[in-house]
Amino acid sequence: MRSEVRLSLPVLSSNRNLVSHRPQLQRNRLLKLGEETICSLGDDISRIPSATRSTMRHLSSRHTEVSQWRAQISESIARVDREITAVEQMKDLAEGVLQEKQVYSQLMRDCVSISNSLGSVGQRQDRVLSELKNEEQLTSEFRETLQRQICFLLEKRGSLKGIRAQLLADFRDKGEAIKLTTKCIVPDVNALSSSFPATHYKPNYVSYDNWLSHCRELRQAADNLINDSSSFRGNLRFTLANLKNTQERQRRCTVDAQRKKINDLTRAQDTLIWERQQIRDEISDLTMDRHKVACQIQNCDSKLHRATHRLDILHQRPRRELCLDQPLFSLTLEKRDLESMAAGLCPILKRSQKDLVVAHRHLMILEDKLAKNVSHMEVEQRCQKLHQSFLPALDTSVILANKPRFSPDCSSAVSYLQ
């Protein structure tokens, strides 16, 4: 080429503009650059060697190919960035659920401790304690699963960041290659000498097939990591949904068991209160009966003493006046009847006193049962209140995460997660 030909270096676009422009426009621009170079030499095309024309065509084709691969690498970087954002948001979601489960696990341990305070008598065939232990174990397993999944998410994020660094390095290398290729197509007449000393610089050549294989493998590796991470997030959402539903069912079983236990204790307390009132009424009746029998015995004793005194007086009559007359027979019969009546009332009084002692003993036993029942019900109510003091929030976006969505909005991280 002649020295009087003045060619200007085309303005290089930024990364975003290079990604946004279509490869066809770049190809047309490079062909136009080649045509300007040839036309500026005049109509005598024979002065341009055929090798030179082939070199310009190869340079233009190479420029177009590298630009296309650079655009694809840029697209892969954008996809990796979106996937990293989605993984981080899923990690934040899992960490929030993990923190919630840690608090809930401590609450379950407190509930089990309260239920264990009832002793062996209260724990015998206790469904509430069994359900609380099941819920505690389920919460612990849920927490361990979340910890493992968070570790996997961190590994996925590390892999994505690693492939992003490789893509970004390749993107920059291709940008530098495009600049150098453009300089070969449109050389700068003011700086024709090479910036690399020919005596010291030994280029490390890579075959074209190796370069093309590297580009394809790098993009395929990024696609595989993105697909694997997306599939893992979907499986994690499904796992979270199943675990939350399982724990919610177990929590409802525990609530039902607590409600049933408190209802049973309330009915038992009502029954014990009714029985206590019955025993108290029985004690009152026995006390009145004993008082009546005692009064009757006292009355018989008084009449017997009077009849005995009268007989003693009649027995003091002198000589023939002490005869078996009607008054003597009457007092003797009265004394005998009174003695028989008193003898019959004494066993009744003893039996009444014995029944009264038994009734008092039953009342003491019943009072002890009632006190234990009240204490048991207070413990159950306290356990129920503690269990209901923290209700895990149901995340509907997670519960319905397995619902298919065919058009996620990439501009919103939340919708992209869903």
pTM of the model: 0.63
Residue 38 scores a pLDDT above 80: no
pLDDT digits (tens, 9 = 90+) for 351-377: 888 999 999 999 999 999 999 999 888
CA distances from 402 to 61, 231, 250, 405 (A): 47, 12, 22, 9
Distance CA 348, CA 355 (A): 10
Taking all residues of the chain, what is their mean pLDDT, rounded to a whole number?
78
Which structure tokens are listed for 190? 């003011």
Report residue 76: phi and psi, to 5°: -65, -40
Helices (H) and strands (E) in the chain, counts: 9, 0
Higher pLDDT, 204 or 33: 204
Rounded-to-integer distance, Cα 331 and Cα 317, Å: 15
What was the pLDDT predicted at 333?
Answer: 87
- pLDDT single digits (tens) 140-199: 999 999 999 999 999 999 999 999 999 999 999 999 999 988 888 886 655 555 555 545
Contact indicator for 345, 297 with CB cutoff of 8 Å: yes
Give residue 202's pLDDT. 67
List the structure tokens of 1.
């080429």
Q: Is the pLDDT of residue 295 over 70?
A: yes
Task: Give per-residue pLDDT as tens, 5-20.
Answer: 343 434 444 444 433 4
d(CA 225, CA 219): 10
Kindly report the number of other CB atoms within 10 A of residue 268's CB atom. 15
Residue 404: the pLDDT is 36
Over the stretch 221-246, which tens digit does the pLDDT of each residue have? Answer: 999 999 999 999 999 999 999 999 99
Is the pLDDT at 34 greater than 90? The verdict is no
Start-to-end CA distance of the chain, whole Å, equals 61
Residues 79 and 85: their CA atoms lie apart, in Å, by: 10
- Please give the distance of CA 86 from its chain centroid, rounded to a whole number: 21
Q: What is the pLDDT of residue 116?
A: 83
Residue 274 has a pLDDT of 93
User: What is the pLDDT at residue 120?
Assistant: 57
The string of pLDDT tens digits covering residues 43-82 is: 444 445 555 568 888 888 889 999 999 999 999 999 999 9
For the chain, the C-alpha Rg in angstroms (whole number) is 52
pLDDT band at 87 (very low <50, low <70, confident <90, very high): very high
> What confidence score (pLDDT) does residue 44 get?
47
Residue 165 contacts residue 103 (beta carbons within 8 Å):
no
pLDDT at 297: 85
**What integer pLDDT is reported at residue 75 of this predicted model?**
95
Q: Which residues of 271-295 are buried (b: 16+ CB within 10 A; e: fewer)?
A: ebeeebeebeebbeebeebbeebee
Q: Is 272 left (phi over 0), alpha (psi -120 to 50) or beta?
A: alpha
Say what the pLDDT of residue 40 is.
Answer: 44
Calculated CA dihedral for residues 36, 40, 44, 48, nearest 10 degrees: -70
More confident residue, 390 or 219: 219
The distance of Cα 104 from the centroid of its chain, to the nearest Å, equals 8
What share of the chain has pLDDT > 90, as a percent? 39
Show the tokens assigned to 357. Answer: 């002692």
Beta strands in 11-83 (DSSP E): none
90-132 pLDDT, tens digit each: 999 999 999 998 888 888 888 888 888 876 555 556 888 888 8
Q: State the pLDDT confidence band at 415, using cuts at 50, 70 and 90.
A: very low
Q: With pLDDT > 70 as the criterion, what percentage of the chain qualifies?
A: 75
Q: In this structure, how many other beta carbons lie within 10 angstroms of the beta carbon of residue 217? A: 10
Say if residue 350's pLDDT is above 90.
no
pLDDT the model gives residue 126: 80
- Residue 55: predicted pLDDT: 81
Separation between Cα atoms, residue 133 and residue 116, nearest integer Å: 11
> Angle, nearest 10°, between helix axes 326-388 and 50-116?
170
How confident is the model at residue 335, as a pLDDT?
A: 82
